[in-house]
Amino acid sequence: MTQKTILRALAGERLPVPPIWMMRQAGRYLPEYRATRAQAGDFLSLCYTPELAAEVTLQPIRRYGFDAAILFADILLIPQALGADVWFVTGEGPRLSTITDAAGVTALRPADQVHEKLAPVYETLRILSRELPRETTLIGFAGAPSTVATYMVAGRGTPDQGPAHAMKTADRVAFSALIDRITDATIEYLSAQIEAGAEVVKLFDSWAGSLKGQDFDDFALAPAKRIIAALKTRHPHIPVIAFPREAGPRYAGFAKATGADCVALDQSVAADWAAAHVQTDGCVQGNLNPALLVESGPRLVDETRRIARAFAGGPHIFNLGHGITPDADPDNVSRMIEALRG
């Protein structure tokens, strides 16, 4: 049996102390990350320079001893590999050329042609496979198709994913074709990450909560099910974590419906509710509010322990409800880990 605690939890084992890692654990809250980012020159250069991407992936492992390292990359590398123009505006975030109709979808590259552009990502994983501590699990990831589509349609992040919803309403066939193209590319991308050394992969659906009813079934649940089924066919023993953020009551049953080995939870759902309705199907991950890593005081320790207690009856990976924010205090991360392990 594997001794890696993340893999044990994903296999359904209840552990006395849950393993821990953080979304965006390699990032702007760490001074060593900011130094490496400056060395790279810009964000995309950092993603596409394997030695530097591996370095920032390793930095939080050296500092905190997390149980897992997650590949440093970005969900928008897939649109770029499919042929979209992608660039980052300092202080404002990503910008993309837009896809708004069927012709735009047709013009994208086939899914099996993404690997040349993404080859540096696979090299980063190979470096990490060699350099990570033996006890540390290596996690690969991709954005879920509906979330990636919101950026491809709007050309940037939006507060309500309005442009994607407008395209979905105006031409559901074209929008579905875009989802299918991203789904196919994501299967290829994650499969190649596994071949390069990823021991777990995670599907980030950051805007799943904006999909309701049949839209959630068609564009959040169904693509996740197809991706996971394809990965399980190619790599039967690789666990998959799904994160349909802000899914609310739709978290219940998501693992069974998609085949995911674990469901990651955001902080908008109560841990007690999730233990009763989501953890019954297997491993859960989450779900501390990232804001607690910004403020000082006893609430961070109290909430960390409360969440661990709530999920103590089954398999649990401790994590945040979303990514750690740039204004988080690095010392608070140490306090959180001590509260969990100490």
Annotated catalytic residues are 24, 28, 37, 74, 151
Q: Which of 171, 183, 120 is nearest to 147 (CA)?
A: 183
Give percent helix, percent strand, percent coil of the chain, each to the nearest 5.
55, 15, 35
**Phi, psi at residue 284, to the nearest 5°?**
-120, 155
String of b and e for 208-238 (b: at least 16 CB within 10 Å)? bbbbeeebbebbbbbbbbbbbebbeeebeeb
Q: How far is CA 4 from CA 8, 54, 268, 326, in A?
A: 6, 20, 29, 29
Cα separation, 312 vs 10, in Å, equals 14
CA atoms within 13 A on the CB side of 185: 33
Contacts of 274 (CB under 8 A, 6+ apart): 251, 265, 284, 286, 287, 310, 311
The H or E element containing residue 240 is: strand 240-244
DSSP state of 250: G
Which two tokens mark 116? 């040349």
Question: 276 has which bridge partners?
Answer: none
